């Protein structure tokens, strides 16, 4: 008479395959979450830059968004400092006149909508997003950027 069912070895092999597949999915998701965190922080910073530009146009007064690279924080005009997650890196290029202190700079928006221009990069692991601020128009754009 033939017995039906699975041997212990077959069950162990199937469990091992499931465990490996689960680990692969978890690694893929964590990499995706890393990118999503950088993208979310970048979107928040873009919103703050755009709000600062709008405030300059509406109030007809220059407004600045300050960035502290060492603290990984930024502050829009009239708002509190916003700190980025600890594992995130922040870098910026701006006009020489807008460098306030070591590691602290700002982007200034003028009443006509123009700005001093610059770019900001947010990085966490392999994920990198670049925010460009056009000097002539004050337009703020965000794009994923390669690490090359």
Task: Say if 110 falls within a structural domain.
Answer: yes
Count of structural domains within the chain: 1
Q: Domain residues for 70?
A: 8-144
What secondary structure, in 3-state letters, does 43-106 show? Answer: HHHHHHHHHHHHHHHHHCCCEEEEEECCCCEEECCCCCCEECCCCCEEEEEECHHHEEECCEEE
Task: Say if 1 falls within a structural domain.
Answer: no
The length of the chain, given as a count of residues: 148
Find the CATH number of the domain harbouring 135. 3.55.40.10
Task: Say if 13 falls within a structural domain.
Answer: yes
What's the whole-model pTM score? Answer: 0.76
114, 136 Cβ separation under 8 angstroms: yes
Task: Say if 3 falls within a structural domain.
Answer: no
At 79-122, the pLDDT tens digits run 999 999 888 899 999 999 999 888 899 999 999 999 999 999 99
């Amino acid at each position: 008479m033939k017995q039906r069912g699975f041997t212990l070895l077959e069950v162990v092999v199937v469990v091992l395959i499931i465990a490996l597949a689960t680990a692969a999915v978890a690694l893929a998701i964590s990499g995706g979450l890393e990118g999503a965190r950088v993208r979310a922080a970048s979107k928040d910073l873009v919103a703050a830059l755009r709000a600062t530009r709008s405030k300059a146009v509406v109030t007809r007064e220059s407004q600045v968004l300050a960035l502290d690279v060492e603290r990984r924080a930024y502050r829009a005009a009239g708002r509190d400092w916003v700190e980025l997650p600890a594992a995130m890196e922040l870098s910026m290029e701006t006009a020489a006149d807008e460098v306030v202190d070591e590691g602290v700079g700002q982007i200034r928006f003028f009443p006509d909508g123009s700005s001093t221009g610059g770019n900001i990069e947010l990085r966490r692991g392999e994920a990198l997003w670049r925010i460009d601020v056009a000097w002539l128009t004050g337009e703020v754009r965000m794009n994923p950027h390669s690490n090359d």
